Amino acid sequence: MRDFTEIFDNAKTASLQVARLSTQEKNTILLKLSEKLIQNTENILEENAKDIINFTNNNFENLDMIDRLLLKEERILGIANEIKNVAKLHDFVGEKISEQKMESGLTIKKMRVPLGVIAMIYESRPNVTIDAGVLAFKSGNAIILKGGKEAEFSNQILAKLFREVLAESGIKNAVQLIENASREDTAELLKAKGKIDLLIPRGGKGLIKFVSENSLVPVIETGASVVHTFIDESADFEMAKNIIINEKTRRVSVCNALDTVLIHVNIAEKFLEYIVPELEKVNVVIKRPSELSEITVETLDELFSTEYLSSAITLHIVDNIEEALEHIKTYSLGHSESIVTENQKNADIFLAEVDAACVYHNASTAFSDGAQFGLGAEIGISTQKLHARGPFALEALTSIKWVITGNGAVRV
């Protein structure tokens, strides 16, 4: 049985140490980590290859899932560059948000401070090991990582390299990876109220639902999505085509990838004649309600609720913007939604009424990403409204402390 008491105690001790580091000290460590990843590219690729072999040997033929797991030289370089970008970002820790001088003689400051200990449960993306660790560290926190078994070897070497860089600066256990993790380990994290300050699940709907329903620790839900784009009757066809293809094919296995295209009935015939061949050219698998073997409420719900994470897409015709909004209200998970239209009134209605973290007008949902929003490497995309929403990173990994000073002040 794994000793979680030691893991939690080590994380708490490390969080206090990291919280005291200056911005310069943290950035120096991050730049060293960036260089260390580049220097160890060959070793990282060797370990990642073990994960790829294990994944494919276990009767998995999902090429899209392999893409999530795969590390290549250019991806490692990209991760290293993201670390450098985070080092350049504003450090929110110690920031004075406001200050008031009261009639009582008190000076009251609202300060930004680290959360403390963060835990991250994630699936097959090894880059999350670094992204989450880097953002937690820069924001003054310690982090406990539990990655998916598919990326076991990749996660281990990435965490090992991070811990080595930290150790060179006398910092222990600011990043801890639970190796060879089990469901029992997940249960320990979920019930660690008072030991973990924030738990972040990042993965499919099943993982996020299980964590959010069973955790005693505060949770930020991330990732799961059913992404829609509504092609209004005034849409420019070429613009719509470019947006749809970018949303669907840039990386099919990410959470901001397009799942359903809603098409206004007044342009449906012409637009389908235009878009279907274009989608087929890029190997998109088209699904339509009319092609279901049996059309029932249940089969339609299943079709419209699907987050594909693959090259598949649903095309569905709606009568007007009101029906599009109702469809999105029913099936959206609150991640990213887009409208393509030249009608500004309809655009304004869509942007105001769609209840999602990211809403777009004449733009691709592929931009739902922390780096694209100027946040640096994101720790996730929140689909809830508290304590963070949308892509979140450094600022969302901090909390508030009220600092009150006086000169012997007492309350009457």
According to the model, what pLDDT value does residue 61 have? 62
Answering whether pTM is above 0.85, one says: yes
Confidence (pLDDT) at 1: 63
Q: How far is CA 293 from CA 290, 300, 303, 314, in A?
A: 8, 11, 12, 15
Q: What is the CA radius of gyration of the chain?
A: 23
Element holding 10 (H helix, E strand): helix 4-19
Low-confidence ranges of the chain (pLDDT < 70): 1, 59-62
Q: What whole-number distance in Å separates Cα of residue 260 and Cα of residue 288?
A: 10
Q: Give CA–CA dist 239/28, Å, rounded.
A: 44
CA distances, 80 to each of 58, 204, 250, 294, 377 (Å): 31, 26, 21, 50, 11
Which one-letter amino acid corresponds to residue 140?
G
Question: What pLDDT was estimated at residue 49?
Answer: 96
Cα-to-chain-centroid distance, residue 140: 20
- CA–CA distance from 9 to each of 15, 134, 136, 164, 235 (Å)? 10, 21, 17, 20, 57
State the CB neighbour count (10 A cutoff) for residue 100. 10
Report pLDDT digits (tens) over 63-82.
777 888 999 999 999 999 99
> For every residue of 123-153, which 3-state class applies, written as one string?
CCCCHHHHHHHHHHHHCCCEEEEECCHHHHH
**Which domains does the chain possess?**
4-222+379-405 (3.40.605.10), 228-367 (3.40.309.10)
